[in-house]
Structure 1
Amino acid sequence: MEKVISKILAPITPEEFRDVYYTKQSLLIKNEGKRFDWLFGWSSLNQILNQSFFPHPTMKVVLEGKPINDISEKSKVIEWCRKGATVIIDQLQHYDPQVRRFVASLSREIGEPINANLYFSQPGRQAFNIHYDHHDVIILQIQGLKRWKVYEDSEDTQFPLFVQKNHSSNTPDIPILDCILSPGDVLYIPRGHWHAATAKDEQSLHLTIGIDARTGVDFATWLANELRDNISFRKCFPLIFNDEINDNKNYHILQLQHFENLRNILIHKLKNDKLFDDYTRHCLITSKSIEPFYFPWSTNTSELIFSKASLLKRDGNQRFLLESNEDKDTITLTIQEKYHRFIYEAEPLLKFIFSKTEFSFKEALEVSEISESDVSDILEHLLSESLIQLV
């Protein structure tokens, strides 16, 4: 099955994208034809706006960089669009099933959180003035034409974070890329690179795929949460009363001793050889299921009876870990925010299941070293957790 990332980057390979462009330089991919018609279109947009509660929870209307608040009625949105406003729907994956599957697959393939935002722009108008984003973006042009100007980053915009002490306001003058996106075209812009976009002579519809990649700050945040289990980090610093600050240096010594103790614990933690594995496991287990409901099997598998011909399927983009404990009496499956423990003898069956996207109950029995009843129990458990499904 073709990977989503390969599908949107072709003819650039995912490896070339990662090694040459990702976080480094912008990339324009020109394509013939409307190759994103399968993903989203006018009917998809109309369905979201016509069938959702109003105002839509993530919809914004923006005109030349200024948000429009007068959108209490649907007719108001149409009026503002006629005046040149852009309609934006953030986190589109929560409202369109096709986009949801697309985002989930792409996120699992690259191992980073993904968001999809929609922009419906009017001819000759901008939604925002020149700016830079705090995450990498991949623009998929769906309908119409849109002109993009992309500028290099500067020293004060390299790898920006949404929350940091200083943000740059020194806008550059000369773009390094000035292009017009047609339906089917793709544009990648690294975070921190200034850019601006204007619809051409017709209405434009595009998706912005934001890559909310983990950073060193995310690692430090995780590490801080890990240290909550350490009693020394839960202790308060010794108190210093205001009238003691200059008179009694012993209180400063107590604080310094406490600080040094914390620093030594932190250094020891950072030197732990298992720290990288622990953080990797954390990143993996925080990957959520996009379709957790699988009724009736999510709540009751008691009436389920497998036959040799029963077919089951699995999402091939699932990220997981299979690990046996030191005594090799249990094996743990880490996936989608949960740990699942099985008897060690189930390892061949689990390795088989998670190497396939479709298999039969007969095949599962053939590779197993456990009883048919145990195989059924494991498959029922995986079904109830929506990790596999019946075909």
Structure 2
Amino acid sequence: MSRTEIQESGARQGAGILESRLTRLSREEFARDVWARTAALTRGASDFSDVFSTSAVDELISRRGLRTPFLRVAKDGSTLPSSSFTAPAGVGATVADQLDDTALWRAFSDGATLVLQALHRTWEPVTDLVSVLSTELGHPVQANAYVTPPQNRGFDAHYDVHDVFVLQIEGAKRWVVHEPVLPDPLRDQPWTDRRSAVADQAAHGTPHMDTVLRPGDVLYLPRGWLHSAQAQGQVSIHLTLGVHTWTRHSLAEQLTRAALAALGDDPVMRRALPLGTDGPDGSDGEVDLVRERLLAALAEADPAPAFHRARRSQGRPAPLGPLAQLTALNNLVPTSPVRLRKALEPRLEGSRLFTRVGYLDFPAADLVPVARLLDGQVRTAGDLGLALAGRLLRAGVLVPTDR
């Protein structure tokens, strides 16, 4: 089986989203053969009509009261100013920059691409898909939708600084993909820094892939892979799931921060440089001393706390309804079903539970039931104890649920 065009082979029972809806590869196969290595196309991966659609586009633009930056508009490689497609919301809403559906219609009919950004925050089916995929991959995921008129394109050839899964929803779009000019770019190494090399590769290099995506197809591109896309004979809608990969460089940043924090407690490192110092190029031995202390601090540093804080900050927990939460708290009885709120990134360290909504400390008697909660299974308030269940509901860690 070709690794650049993966044919539909049927998903195994119990498979995750990566296998059942995106690649037809198990997580292990994808990690071994594709992840961060090569572009891969899966024909007929899934029917995505339950995730996104033309009617979803119309509802988001015309009825949801979205504001920038939840939408961008692009044409022929340029992004239009937001003032060209926003307007005041009218009586009773002191909002000056809501989407103007009439202006958007005119721009779209004139060939502009509509980019609905951060759909994982505004469209529930996409939220659910992104949440599960992020958990499977262990990397933060976002979602954008690109709505392109026939025979038009929104952006020139470029690369992203995150991996992407492209899910074709409606219509057809031709994708031309080239290998990277900079493999594995970091987040502060955008394609605009290498504009001429990107343009030369796109104009003269042999494409790695030149193909048309149709509804149900999925294209995976590692960060750095050049791509451009053009709608064919009808409106094209595709979802891009952007995977913001943690890298060794990310881990080095956390390690360095932990070491520098430790050096803040070292009185020798807090001391001023000598008067008249020549700085790093001088011969007074200061750089050697600093290097020695820094290397020692790096050897002792634990990057885990900073890494996990950064990871929790990269996403938000699953939605929580305050009225449903209050009702559950007021009506709490031993048989009340509850579960851990999804996408919390919970981590129990000693007697402290860290989550995306803060941390909680527990007495020793509560640690066993709290640890059991982390499997995400439905429990009853009686299993946990009413006092503990009530505390976790108030904290937004537990949510009511059906069995």
TM-score > 0.5, shorter chain as reference: yes
Following the alignment from structure 1 to structure 2, what is the Cα–Cα distance between the partners of residues 388 and 169? 52
Q: Structure 1: how far apart are the matches of 2:329 and 2:225? A: 56
Shift of 1:210: 0.7
Partner of 2:139: 112
> Which range is displaced more, 80-89 or 342-351?
342-351
CA contact (8 A) 1:285 1:337 kept: no
Please point out which of 65, 85, 89 is paired with 1:71.
85
| Alignment check: 8 A CA contact 2:174 2:231 kept | yes
Describe the shift of the 1:302–1:64 C-alpha distance in structure 2 as closer, same or farther (beyond 3 A): closer
Native 8 Å contact 1:284 1:320 kept in 2: no
CA contact (8 A) 1:269 1:275 kept: no
Task: Check whether the contact 2:328–2:400 (CA below 8 A) recurs between aligned residues.
Answer: no
- Deviation for aligned residue 1:138: 0.5
Equivalent runs, 1:296-335 vs 2, <5 Å: 296=323, 303-307=330-334, 309-315=335-341, 318-324=344-350, 331-335=351-355
Indicate whether 1:219 and 2:251 are aligned: yes
The TM-score, its normalising length taken from structure 2, stands at 0.79
Mapped to 2, the partners of 1:236 and 1:65 lie a distance apart of 53
Query: Tell me, what secondary structure is at the counterpart of 2:168?
Result: strand
1:50 match: 62
SS in 2 for 1:167: helix
Provide structure 2 residue ranges, at least 5 long, that are not aligned to the other structure: 1-13, 87-99
TM-score for both structures, normalised by structure 1: 0.81
Aligned counterpart in structure 2 of residue 131 of structure 1, from 134, 137, 158: 158
- In structure 1, distance between residues paired with 2:336 and 2:112: 53
- C-alpha distance in structure 2 between counterparts of 1:206 and 1:27, whole Å: 16
**Deviation at 1:6?**
3.0
Question: Is it true that 1:99 corresponds to 2:126 in the alignment?
Answer: yes
User: In structure 1, what is the Cα distance between the partners aligned to 2:322 and 2:357?
Assistant: 20
* Aligned counterpart for 2:288 among listed residues 247, 256, 260: 260
Deviations along 1:316-362, whole A, 9 cap, x unmatched?
Answer: 665333333xxxxxx22222253322122323312322224212234
* One-letter identity of the residue aligned with 1:161: L
Q: Match of 2:337, as an amino acid?
A: L
Q: CA deviation at 1:113?
A: 1.5
Q: Call closer, same or farther: CA 1:209–1:148 in 2, change over 3 Å.
A: same
**CA-to-aligned-CA distance 1:55-100 (integer Å, 9 cap, x gap):** 6433221111022233344323222212221111221222222222
Report what 1:381 is aligned to.
Answer: 391
State how 1:276-287 maps to structure 2 within 5 Å.
276-286=303-313
Between 1:67-76 and 1:40-49, the stretch displaced more is: 67-76
Q: Is the 8 A contact 1:54 1:74 kept in 2?
A: no
Map of 2:235 onto structure 1: 203
- C-alpha displacement at 1:304, in angstroms? 4.4
SS of 1:169's equivalent?
A: helix
For the residue of structure 2 that corresponds to 1:268, the secondary structure is: helix
Q: Distance in 2 between matches of 1:24 and 1:198?
A: 25
* Partners of 1:150 and 1:194 within 8 A in 2: yes
Taking a change above 3 Å as real, the CA distance of residues 380 and 297 of structure 1, as seen in their structure-2 partners, is farther
The answer on whether the counterparts of 1:287 and 1:335 sit within 8 Å (CA) in structure 2 is: no
Q: Secondary structure at the match of 2:186?
A: coil
- How many matched pairs? 363
Quote the residue 1:158 is aligned against.
Answer: 183
Higher mean Cα deviation, 139-148 or 163-172? Answer: 163-172
- Identical pairs, percent: 23
Question: For each residue in 1:114-163, what CA deviation from the matched residue of structure 2 results, as whole angstroms up to 9, or x when unmatched?
Answer: 11111001111111111111111110111111111111123xx1111242
Output aligned runs, 1:140-155, within 5 Å: 140-154=167-181
Distance (Å, rounded) in 1 between the aligned partners of 2:75 and 2:125: 29
Secondary structure (helix, strand or coil) at the match of 1:99 reads helix
> What is the match of residue 47 of structure 2?
35
Pick closer, same or farther for the CA change 1:235–1:135 going to 2, 3 Å: same
Q: 1:29: how far off?
A: 0.5
| Alpha-carbon distance between aligned partners in 2 of 1:240 and 1:298, rounded to the nearest angstrom | 62
Q: Is the 8 A contact 1:298 1:385 kept in 2?
A: no
**What secondary structure is seen at the aligned counterpart in 1 of 2:220?**
strand
Taking the aligned partners of 2:280 and 2:106, their CA distance within structure 1 comes to 70
- Worse-matched range after superposition: 158-167 or 210-219: 158-167
- How far the C-alpha of 1:47 sits from its partner, in A, is 1.3
What is the deviation of 1:389? 1.4
Which residue pairs with 1:328 in the alignment?
none
- d(CA) in 1 for partners of 2:308 and 2:186? 24
Instruction: Flag structure 1 segments of 5+ consecutive residues without an equivalent.
Output: 325-330, 366-374
Q: Paired residue for 1:5?
A: 18
- 1:54 and 1:338, CA in 2 relative to 1: closer, same or farther beyond 3 A? closer
Shift of 1:278: 3.7
C-alpha distance 291-320 of structure 1, shift in aligned 2 (>3 A): closer
Shift of residue 298, structure 1, vs aligned partner: 6.1
Distance change (3 Å), C-alpha of 1:54 and 1:277: closer
* Contact 1:285 1:338 (8 Å CA) reproduced: no
CA distance in 2, matches of 1:182, 1:297: 41
- The aligned residue for residue 372 of structure 1 is none
CA displacement at 1:276 relative to structure 2? 4.9
1:230 aligns to what? 263
